[in-house]
Structure 1
């Protein structure tokens, strides 16, 4: 027999404690009561199951919370595919209120996020500007402009936008541009995806749209008025992809979203009316300056539609790209010439008079290595500037836009999916584009290089969306992914 190891004093005490506990449990009949309770519970479950006469179901699983982990935290380099469709993740915003999905109109009061009295001030200000006489090309009434008499005049000379406000043109003094603290505001929560100046000399107003379906307005000239000049609405369930403000009627604002809605904010009627609804996402909207009754918008994978306001339906539809269309822009000197940019890696120029419905053929195609997120004509129409996340700004010029230059620029930080779009200034001299060091780079179209950077200690983020005031040279607005708007002005 094997030699039995002698137990230590600790092990002896442990065995004695176990024996004593067993004797105590036996005296209290604990184990018997546990078994009885277990059997009773099983019988109750069986009875309930039999009573309902349905199979036992598992408890409902709540919607999981997804935690986004960037490639950087995984130790991986930026992925082209992720950058290609970065903003698809923004469409996951929950639909917290059924009214945002309504197939009908939404009142401005229901869409407003704040006090009704505050919202009323915004309405009164817009209507005060709207009712002022609109002098334009000899016409002194809005009815003449909307009625189309100015449109007929415009056909006499396509180089002049008769009946519509004409943007000012001129070279800006870069050294005179500055960013004052009072011209900075957080307008909306979340990320700003679109930014527009109101086309008015009577009010300094900016409209922005974010990834939560909010449309925000900032009146940054609110001296001697109550409030901070910020008005927040939520007419959409998800990401706002486009804003168009009627140039002759600033009380009407078109907005589109990734959920397939186009709404018309009519301040006079105090309503967000539903203009168009689709099962596909709407990625951009635009208007020609001499055609206020038609709305151009991109839908789904590469489809461009023209919405006729008078007929209340689509008047034309073409498949122009293999993937979504990011921007739509028109040449100011020839509004039949249209430029589109796409995440399929191309930017194209089209002649609206000669687009075959079955096989559309463009006048010019510019290829980038990765997604193209903007293509804008210069104020004179002589240039086209494109922006891609391949870290290049494309510049096309010449009689048929045959001269192409690629200007290297870091258009994205490579990690957080933020990218900047280059826009033109008030003439063909400069392009403005945000950099990843909290500044705005200025690119000379003539020299094809960066010639200056707008910087300020008041700039706390990297602006990625821009707009220039149509009637004030040197007024440049930039928006960040944190919901802030920064407005540079000249001294």
Structure 2
């Protein structure tokens, strides 16, 4: 009789030893069943079976489904199998070789948007629908709230610790890599803006009921949106700049994107050069800065100055003495006076030495401008004393910091606009986190999402008045920590 049938007859299941199990079994089968019993007893004694069941339940948490949903892939058409001419008994005709092209195009660039104002039409809303009235009310809110005095470090750490993340503060706001992000200065509600890899600009109101879970997105550019900022003098205006060479201003009241500046060269960065935010300094990929006045008709610059032989990655204007601006170039960080710029070979007012690789960013401190914070690809963050604006600004602090991988946005340290001497930067340490430092190098706090410890939030920003912080990643999701 076969073994399986014999076991079935006596009622013995696989992995069990019951009373009377030795009926009709050979000595080999009896020994095998005893081994199974002993093995199970041993595994139970060390709780391995229970641990295995618990391990099966542990999986990486699914990303938030709030916000935009990626469209389902279209079903591929099944084509008939191809047959060669030889199998079809058809004689092949001789083919002449085509001449080798002199220039090989690696990537086809998407055509730039036409010049002039563009209608502000949300891509993820029904055709012909208007912008939500609540958005206009929030957008036009005049936020005059200011922090009366700088917090001491103990109070500041307490404020940071009060900022938490919840599932409703995570949303997919764009389909692609987030390059830039900013908070609207409104204090009543959290309204955020981001720019992505394909030139889209999105708006997300936490708790909003329009669009996709409060998310609206637009297409004013065709290249990565590397820099954006709300006007400090007119919060109803959001300016965004793209690699495609365009700089536009979102106007919700008129429902258009105004054409501010347009050039054939790629644009990397900009900042406001006047308190009314009408004059801008714009850096391009050729190492030039353009002075742009938004009140001048047209979309061209007033002046153009060559500062770096390679490229400019970041410009930052002094908060009170607007004639000064700091430039992060290929391997140098210099401070210039806009009143004494020449077309070529402009003399720097101050040189910030010590960088051995390319610089990701350099920013003046938000209230006094007495410090400059730089992030370099040599794995160091540096803080310089610029209070005296000497020829060589002294280096105050150096902080070791690991740079990003090749597929992430370069990490940049940025000041908290509410705190003169503290800044935030993402970390590549495990688990992934965002760290807040004092200018002395002392770490004040770490933002960690315990459910998503593997995510790098490369695009970061603090709210200008509220205790709120945002971080964006390469998958197009925003994470908001708030009190």
TM-score normalised to structure 2 length = 0.70
Q: CA deviation at 1:415?
A: 4.5
Query: 2:381 matched to 1:393?
Result: yes
**Pairing 1:194–2:180 present:** yes
Report the RMSD for the aligned CA atoms in angstroms: 3.3
SS at the partner of 2:326? strand
1:348 matched residue in structure 2: 334
1:419 aligns with 2:410: yes
Match 1:261 to one of 223, 246, 249: 246
Question: What per-residue deviation string (whole Å, max 9, x for no partner) do you get for residues 231-279 of structure 1?
Answer: 1111111111221322343333222211111222222222223332211
Q: Out of 330, 338, 341, which is 2:317 matched to? A: 330
Per the alignment, in what secondary structure is the counterpart of residue 166 of structure 2?
strand
**In 2, Cα distance between equivalents of 1:309 and 1:226:** 31
In structure 2, the partner of 1:120 is: 130
Cα distance change of structure 1 residues 288 and 487 upon mapping to structure 2, 3 Å threshold: farther
Counterpart for residue 232 of structure 1:
217
Aligned pair in 2 of structure 1 residues 221, 249: CA closer, same or farther (>3 Å)? farther
Q: How does 1:21-100 map to 2 (within 5 A)?
A: 38=91, 94-95=109-110, 100=112
Aligned-partner Cα distance in 2 for 1:135–1:464: 28
> What is the deviation of 1:375?
0.9
In the superposition, relative to structure 1, how do residues 93 and 184 fare at CA in structure 2: closer, same or farther (>3 Å)?
A: farther
1:76-475 equivalences in 2 (<5 Å): 94-95=109-110, 100-109=112-121, 112-116=122-126, 120-122=130-132, 124-131=133-140, 134=142, 170-171=150-151, 172=156, 173=158, 174-222=160-208, 227-288=212-273, 290-312=275-297, 313-342=300-329, 344-367=330-353, 368-380=355-367, 381-397=369-385, 399-400=387-388, 402-425=393-416, 426-436=418-428, 437=430, 438-446=432-440, 448-459=441-452, 460-472=454-466, 474-475=467-468
When residues 106 and 354 of structure 1 are mapped into structure 2, their CA distance, relative to the original with a 3 A threshold, is same
- Cα drift, residue 226 of structure 1: 7.5
Structure 1: runs of 5+ lacking an equivalent: 1-30, 46-54, 67-91, 137-164
Compute the displacement of 1:212 (Å): 1.0
CA distance in 1, matches of 2:249, 2:189: 21
Distance 2:312 2:473 in 1: 22
Structure with higher RCO (Cα < 8 A, 6+ apart): 1
Secondary structure in 2 matching 1:128: helix
Query: Which digits, 9 at most, give the CA deviation of each residue in 1:88-134, with x for residues without a partner?
Result: xxxx5752xx5x5323432222xx32123797344x233223555x5
Structure 2 Cα separation of the partners of residues 330 and 400 of structure 1: 16
Contact kept in structure 1, 2:469 and 2:480, CA below 8 Å:
yes
Structure 1: distance between partners of 2:387 and 2:258:
42
Q: Equivalents in 2 of 1:119, 1:200: separation in Å?
A: 25
> Pick from 460, 478, 482: which aligns with 1:485?
478
Separation of aligned partners in 1, 2:378 and 2:217: 35
Answer yes or no: is the 8 Å Cα contact 1:297–1:305 preserved in 2: yes
Distance 1:270 1:487 in 2: 27
| Distance across 2 between alignment mates of 1:118 and 1:228 | 20
SS in 2 for 1:179: coil
